[in-house]
């Protein structure tokens, strides 16, 4: 099948490859920014697959700078919750200790992106690891 002057195969070869990497955040640091660099382009969308080490807490989300959404797993109650439309691309919550920490992309930069971490309540502890896929 042809699309314009290109077959589907030739067209897919023209598309930019996504960039996949991983980074960590000590969530006990609380509020702050975190710059992720070295991507090689200004991304338009980031997908996050995140978890806190040695726990059952996980978060999956996306961010385009104008749209954010995701879902989280509460390890203490073994349940899931959506945080769609909440302005966050990453969120961890512990209903027992009462901590909630979120992150959202505040800028898409020429070589990466910047996250802003916000403690909503409590005192988060642990190291979160985020695997991400960045799209051009």
pTM (predicted TM-score): 0.83
Domain limits for position 59:
16-135
For 10, phi and psi rounded to 5 degrees?
-65, -35
In sequence order, the β-bridge partners of residue 51 are: 58, 129
* 94 inside domain: yes
* 10 inside domain: no
Distances in Å between the Cα of 34 and the Cα atoms of 13, 20, 24, 104, 108 are 33, 17, 10, 10, 12
Digit-coded pLDDT (tens) for 5-40:
656 566 556 667 899 999 999 999 999 999 999 999
Query: What distance in Å separates the CA atoms of residue 30 and residue 72, rounded to the nearest whole number?
Result: 19
pLDDT, greater one: 67 or 19: 19
pLDDT of residue 85: 58
Report the b/e string of 99-123 with b at 16+ CB within 10 A: bbbbbbbeebeeebbebebebeeee
* 40 inside domain: yes
Mean pLDDT for the chain?
Answer: 85
* 4 inside domain: no
Query: What distance in Å separates the CA atoms of residue 72 and residue 79, rounded to the nearest whole number?
Result: 8
* 9 inside domain: no
* 128 inside domain: yes
CA angle, 83 as apex, 97 and 121 as ends, to 5°? 30
Q: What is the CATH number of the domain that holds 83?
A: 2.60.40
Domain count, the chain: 1
pLDDT of residue 1: 45
State percent of the chain over pLDDT 70.
Answer: 79
């Amino acid at each position: 099948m042809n699309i314009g002057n290109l077959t589907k195969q030739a067209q897919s070869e023209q598309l930019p490859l996504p960039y996949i990497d991983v980074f960590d955040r000590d969530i006990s640091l609380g509020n702050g920014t975190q710059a992720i660099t070295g991507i090689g382009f200004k991304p338009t969308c980031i997908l996050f697959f995140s978890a806190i080490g040695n726990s059952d807490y996980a978060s999956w989300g996306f961010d385009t700078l104008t749209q954010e959404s995701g879902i989280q797993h509460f390890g203490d109650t073994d349940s899931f919750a959506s945080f769609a439309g909440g302005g966050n691309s990453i969120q961890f919550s512990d209903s027992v200790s009462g901590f909630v920490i979120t992150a959202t992309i505040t800028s898409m930069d020429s070589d990466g992106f910047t996250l802003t971490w916000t403690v909503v309540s409590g005192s988060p502890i642990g190291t979160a690891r985020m695997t991400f896929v960045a799209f051009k």
